[in-house]
Amino acid sequence: MNSFSYLRPGDVTSALQHIRTPGAKFIGGGSNLLDLMKGGIEQPVMLIDISHLPLSEISAQPGGGIRIGALARNSDVAAHPLVRRNYPLLAQALLAGASPQLRNMATVGGNLMQRTRCGYFYDTAFDACNKRLPGSGCAALAGRNRNHAIFGASEQCIAVNPSDMNVALTALDAVINVQGSHGRRSIAIADFHRLPGETPQHETNLAADEMILSVDLPPVPFDEYVYYLKVRDRASYAFALVSVAAALDLHLGRVTDVRIVMGGVAHKPWRATAAEAVLRGKILSATAVADAARVAIDGAQAYGQNDYKIELAQSAVERALLHAGDLS
Ligand SMILES: Cc1cc2nc3c(=O)[nH]c(=O)nc-3n(C[C@H](O)[C@H](O)[C@H](O)COP(=O)(O)OP(=O)(O)OC[C@H]3O[C@@H](n4cnc5c(N)ncnc54)[C@H](O)[C@@H]3O)c2cc1C
């Protein structure tokens, strides 16, 4: 591991001043960053420990909805009464992620920013990883790509975003509130994570000098007919091969609103808007769900070892919707 300085600033203003130091990084729970540092993938010159700053509150907002502090731990968010009652999809997704010990450490900000789990990114013995060494190539394209993307990839990178939480946040129209040297701004979650394109080293649109302060969830009608389905190699503890956040708003059996978002299939949570359109306004039925699931995989492209993911994604979407709509 490289040598680095460690700071524990007393407030957000001071943390934001220090993050302007080139090579400085925030550390929340440390459950991703420390692994990356031990592997030599991340080499910060300064660690700014923000874990103790007062940004862990979860509160109801005046117009409805809730605000979740960026330093709220994943386990606390999943257990919070407001989350469980109004956003059960988020609680389900969080509880499907990692292990209890990790969820006790992991923060919301860190989860949003966690990096891909592509083996070539993690293993510095491989030279070809455009994400780690821009311009070096992508070993996964013709290599071990069983866990890799089937949507939105590029010739530069076929890695996926590994988060469960981000999939649910996308279904729930989350907004990320951030602050940097140019002040505060809010970023819709759909615009927060990036597709790899020509610059896979940039996974989010957060600027280097910005800190995530909180996440807002607007009032949404998805508090009853929801289901987070995670398909993985081990039920106890593994990243998603494919996951689906399915949310339905039903009125007398008719779908008045719907969200279908897939995880483990792209560089960012992948919202299946065309599949949603198939269901919107229809009476929910097994046939309508199967039609939507077929549309959800339109445009999917696999790379050999991950060919299975296309069929898996279709059946996962179908199963998640059937569960969400109490049809299974
Ligand atoms: C064995 C293992 C299994 C796991 N399984 C899963 C799983 O199944 N599903 C899943 O979703 N996740 C899983 N994870 C990942 C885990 O959820 C993340 O490591 C965790 O959410 C990261 O949060 P953290 O607070 O520890 O982040 P840190 O490691 O502290 O930081 C991660 C990144 O976020 C940045 N950062 C942190 N806070 C902020 C902020 N407020 N503003 C700006 N930048 C910030 C840091 O600079 C760093 O770049 C697993 C992790 C491990 C080690």
Band of pLDDT at residue 237, cut at 50, 70 and 90: confident
Of the residues 10, 29, 53, which one is the last residue of a structural domain? 53
- Residue-wise pLDDT for 21-64, tens only, equals 999 999 999 999 999 999 999 999 999 999 999 999 999 999 99
Q: Residue 203 carries which side chain, given as an amino acid letter? A: E
Examine residue 254 and state whether it is found in any structural domain, yes or no: yes
Predicted local distance difference test score (pLDDT) of residue 288: 98
Examine residue 229 and state whether it is found in any structural domain, yes or no: yes
109 Cα–ligand 1 center, Å:
8
> CB of 107 closer than 6 A to ligand 1?
yes
Predicted local distance difference test score (pLDDT) of residue 277: 98
Domain count, the chain: 2
CATH code for position 281: 3.30.390.50
Examine residue 319 and state whether it is found in any structural domain, yes or no: yes
Measured between its terminal Cα atoms, the distance across the chain in Å is 50
Global pTM reads 0.98
> CB of 203 closer than 6 A to ligand 1?
no
Examine residue 283 and state whether it is found in any structural domain, yes or no: yes
Examine residue 109 and state whether it is found in any structural domain, yes or no: no
185 Cα–ligand 1 center, Å:
22
Q: Are 225 and 255 in contact (CB under 8 A)?
A: no
Range of the domain at 302: 225-324
- Residue-wise pLDDT for 258-306, tens only, equals 999 999 999 999 999 999 999 999 999 999 999 999 999 999 999 999 9
Examine residue 145 and state whether it is found in any structural domain, yes or no: no
> What number is the average pLDDT over the span 190-200?
98
Examine residue 162 and state whether it is found in any structural domain, yes or no: no
pLDDT at position 1 over 80: no
Give dist(CA 291, CA 127) in Å, integer.
Answer: 43
Give dist(CA 240, CA 300) in Å, integer.
Answer: 17
Phi, psi of 284 (to 5 degrees): -70, 125
Band of pLDDT at residue 199, cut at 50, 70 and 90: very high
Q: Which of 278, 246, 244, 280 is nearest to 263 (CA)?
A: 244
Examine residue 170 and state whether it is found in any structural domain, yes or no: no
Count of residues making up the chain: 328
The first and second tokens of residue 128, run together, are 């070809």
Band of pLDDT at residue 159, cut at 50, 70 and 90: very high
Averaged confidence pLDDT in the chain: 97
Q: Please state the three-class secondary structure of the chain as a single string.
A: CCCCEEECCCCHHHHHHHCCCCCEEEECCCCCHHHHHHCCCCCCCEEEECCCCCCCCEEECCCCCEEEECCCEHHHHHHCHHHHHHCHHHHHHHHCCCCHHHHHHCEHHHHHHCCCCCHHHHCCCCCCECCCCCCCCEHHHHCCCCCCCCCCCECCECCCCCCCHHHHHHHCCCEEEEEECCEEEEEEHHHHECCCCCCCCCCECCCCCCEEEEEEECCCCCCCEEEEEEECCCCCCCCCCEEEEEEEEEECCEEEEEEEEEECCCCCCEECHHHHHHHCCCECCHHHHHHHHHHHCCCCCCCCCCCHHHHHHHHHHHHHHHHHCCCC
- Residue-wise pLDDT for 132-156, tens only, equals 999 999 999 999 999 999 999 999 9
Of the residues 9, 33, 53, which one is the last residue of a structural domain? 53
Residue 164 alpha carbon, nearest atom of ligand 1: 11
pLDDT at position 179 over 80: yes
Give dist(CA 190, CA 156) in Å, integer.
Answer: 21
Predicted local distance difference test score (pLDDT) of residue 217: 98
Residue 27 alpha carbon, nearest atom of ligand 1: 30
Q: Which of 189, 190, 188, 193 is nearest to 205 (CA)?
A: 193
Predicted local distance difference test score (pLDDT) of residue 254: 98
- Residue-wise pLDDT for 88-129, tens only, equals 999 999 999 999 999 999 999 999 999 999 999 999 999 999
> CB of 243 closer than 6 A to ligand 1?
no
Predicted local distance difference test score (pLDDT) of residue 144: 97
CATH code for position 48: 3.30.43.10
